[in-house]
Chains A and B, each alone.
Chain A
Amino acid sequence: MNLAMIWELAAQALQMLLVLALAPLVLGVTRKIKARLLRRIGPPTWQPYIDIWKLLHKEAVLAHNASWLYRVTPYLLFATTWVAAALVPTYAINLMFSWSADLIAIVALLATGRFALALAGMDVGTAFGGIGSSREMMIASLAEPAMLLVVFSVALIAGTTQLSTMASIFINGSVGLRVSLGLALFAFVFVAIAENARIPVDNPATHLELTMVHEAMVLEYSGRHLAMIEAAAALKLTLYFSLLACLFVPFGMATGDKNIDSVLIGLMTYLAKILVLAVLLPIGETSVAKMRVFRYPIFLGSAFAAAALAVFLLFVSRSL
């Protein structure tokens, strides 16, 4: 075990722990900004940490007809989301496990988690769980194609689906400001909003039957299970932010050898990007109203159209 390998391992471990530690903070910043925009004071920024800590110490109450799936799902969800979030390059590329950081694999991991959650929502047999699961799957069926088309468009530009390689190609700047990238960004933002259950698709703070999607699925969970699920939701949001930063604004990441300077710069830029996105999200959320469920296809259809257009442009022209 020479020093280089230990250093690599430490860098990879740093990334894994970084996203885990950062995720509740991202959530907290988002909630705080939103409250301020709504002229409330809002909870403290580190409230999600306190929530998770509290939930971990509470008793998990299960329905008597809950199956093994119900108990396993929170851990499964947390695991898949954490792995996916840890694979996305945050402050540096070409980390130890980055050969496995394939964009399609990440999409598949998220899909697995969502699938498990949807099943668990229906597991106990309550009405709210069923509503949540069916709405969630409808959104997924519309968002997945759009997400895949976004993946295709960036992959066509970079020539690979491996995230580290993609990021390094984009950092060089030889790609330029392409229309297809702009369209892909547009589509990605819409898909991210849908997947993370944010306004205008879903309200993360509501428990009204008419409006909840994600919250409906997890309504029955309590204690450490709920803590896992909350952490997974926060990780998912951080994952999408990191993905946006890595694909569309990858500047500042540490390429090449990872000495202290480049790592520090990478960390600083990453934190800055995440913070900016965490501020922009509530600004967007407070400026639109939640849309009705039958409008989801149009919303996600426009994302699909934009991504399809991006892919098409890449096929017909070299410079678009």
Chain B
Amino acid sequence: MHNINFDVAHLLAGSILALSFVLLYQHRITSMLNVFALQAIALSLSVAWQAYIQEAPHLLVTAGIALAVKGIVIPTALHRIVRRLGIHRQIEEVIGAGPTMLTGLGLVALSILLVLPAGQTVSLLAREDLAFALAVILLGLLTMITRHNAVTQIIGFMSLENGLVLAATGAKGMPLVVEISVAFSVLIAFSVFGIFVFRIRERFDTVDIGALDQFRGERRDQT
């Protein structure tokens, strides 16, 4: 017999995962930001639902932070930064959308196969949530790898952090210390990102990571 609570929790986690997939093949920065904002909203809904079924009202704080910071503030701020940098018209060649999606599918399969069989003592709900969270993390990693542009790498990283928050709230009863620290790290990471984007821009007049490549390591032609 199906427990409606579990089902809704899984549905919300599954929607976050589906949005991670959608994030993989977006090729315009503005559309990526919108999908990321949607994912953050789905995350806040998921955390709020966890707060309800775990009877842990402090999780609502995390849900609120996720909604406010990652769903609203960061996307609007990044939209403005993108506009100011003048890169909102750039079309990014996503590295092979087809193979990327297949790799994404493989990563999801891998994460489910890794987490679900392990730990029979942990409850099934927690394990399934954790499997989804790991899948979101790995997909965020894949997004970062397949991108050239600094801003889109940032978005990939933040979707990775969404997966982390999903994992943290799925683990029942994790103390508030960790949640505050997760939110705190989001804020710090964003400020660092902002500094970097501007530094990269003013140094290179572009945010294309490929331009950084020529400064990598020790080149053979340098003696």
A and B touch in the complex (CB under 8 A): yes
Whether B11 and A179, one on each chain, are in contact in the complex, defined by CB atoms closer than 8 angstroms, is yes
B7, closest chain A residue (CB): A177
Q: B25 within 8 Å of A by Cβ?
A: yes
What class of interface size applies to chain B in its complex with A?
20 to 34
Task: List, in ascending order, chain A residues with CB within 8 A of B105's CB.
Answer: 305, 308-309, 312
Contact check: which of B10, B22, B112 meets A302 at CB < 8 Å?
B22
Task: List, in ascending order, chain A residues with CB within 8 A of B183's CB.
Answer: none
Q: A138 within 8 Å of B by Cβ?
A: no
Task: List, in ascending order, chain A residues with CB within 8 A of B113's CB.
Answer: 316
Whether A176 and B13, one on each chain, are in contact in the complex, defined by CB atoms closer than 8 angstroms, is no
Whether B13 and A179, one on each chain, are in contact in the complex, defined by CB atoms closer than 8 angstroms, is yes
A residues contacting the other copy or chain, number (CB 8 A): 23
Whether B18 and A319, one on each chain, are in contact in the complex, defined by CB atoms closer than 8 angstroms, is no
Task: List, in ascending order, chain A residues with CB within 8 A of B14's CB.
Answer: 179, 182-183, 320
B2, closest chain A residue (CB): A176
Whether A316 and B112, one on each chain, are in contact in the complex, defined by CB atoms closer than 8 angstroms, is yes
Task: List, in ascending order, chain A residues with CB within 8 A of B15's CB.
Answer: 182
Known: A301-B97, A316-B113. A179 touches B1 (CB 8 A): no
Whether B18 and A320, one on each chain, are in contact in the complex, defined by CB atoms closer than 8 angstroms, is no
Shortest C-beta distance, B98 to chain A (Å), equals 6
Shortest C-beta distance, B166 to chain A (Å), equals 14
Task: List, in ascending order, chain B residues with CB within 8 A of A293's CB.
Answer: none
Known: A182-B14, A183-B14, A320-B128. A176 touches B7 (CB 8 A): yes
Contact check: which of A178, A186, A301, A316 meets B7 at CB < 8 Å?
A178
| A177-205 interface bits toward B, Cβ cutoff 8 Å, 1 = contact, 0 = none | 11100110010000000000000000000
Given A178-B10, A302-B21, A306-B18, 14 additional A-B pairs, CB 8 A: A176-B4, A177-B8, A179-B10, A182-B14, A182-B18, A183-B18, A298-B101, A302-B25, A302-B101, A316-B116, A319-B2, A319-B10, A319-B128, A320-B128
A: residues with CB less than 8 A from B are 174-179, 182-183, 186, 297-298, 301-302, 305-306, 308-309, 312-313, 316-317, 319-320
